Amino acid sequence: MSSTSIDDLLSFEEERPAPAGRSRGGRAGRVLRALAGVAAVVVVLIAGLRVVGLRVSLPVLVAGVVAFFLVRRVVTALAPPPPPRSGSRAPAGDDDGVWNWGARDALRTAINGWERPLDWCAGNRERFAERILPRIGELADERLRQRHGLTRESDPERARALLGDRLWTFLSTPSRRPPSPRDLAAIVAELEKT
C-alpha cells in the first residue's frame, strides 16, 4: 500500500510567481536571437550554393530567409492544438453506439487485474495465499475504512463482527486448498455486504 495520505492528495500549494523583470533578455534578446538565426542560415545557404556553383544576390537570399522565419512563426502561432491521446475518451456527442472492443478501459484493466492471478493460482494453495488473499484483505480493509472508519488491524473485534465469521476466518487463516469459484463468489458477496 502507498504511504500517501488523503491530506497529501488534497493539499494545494500555489506556484511561486516568476521573478519580476525581463525573462531571457526580453524583446531585444528575442530579436537578437532571430537575427543570429537568420545570419547563420544565410551563411550556410551561401556556402552551399557556392559549392554547387550558383550565385544568388545577398539581399534576395536574406529576404527569403527572413520571410521563411516569419511564416514559420505565424504558422506555429496559429497551429491547432494537438489531437487528444489515443487512449482518451471521445466526447459524448461523438458516440456512434458501437462498442470498441479493442480499446483499453478501466473496467477491462480491473477485470484482467483479477482474472489473470486467479487463473494462475487456480490449483496452487501457496500462490493463492501469496497473491490473492492479500488483495482480498486490502479490499476488506478499504471497505471497512470507507464505511465504518476502521481496519482489521486497528479494531479487530469490531472488524470481525462487521465482516462475519466466515469472511474473517477466510482472511485470517489460509485454507488448505484455494476456494472454488462458487465459494469465492460467496466470499465476495459477503464482502460487498459490509
pLDDT at 45 over 60: yes
**Residues constituting the chain:** 194
User: Rounded distance, CA 138 to CA 135, Å?
Assistant: 5
Q: Over range 123-133, report the average pLDDT.
A: 78
Percent of the chain with pLDDT over 90: 22
pLDDT of residue 59: 93
One-letter identity of residue 175: S
Q: What pLDDT score does 167 carry?
A: 87
What average pLDDT does the segment 99-106 reach? Answer: 65
Lowest-confidence segment of 23-27, 31-35, 50-54, 68-72 by average pLDDT: 23-27
pLDDT for the residue numbered 66: 93
User: What's the whole-number average pLDDT of the chain?
Assistant: 79
Please tell me the pTM assigned to this model.
0.43
**Model confidence at 114: pLDDT above 80:** no
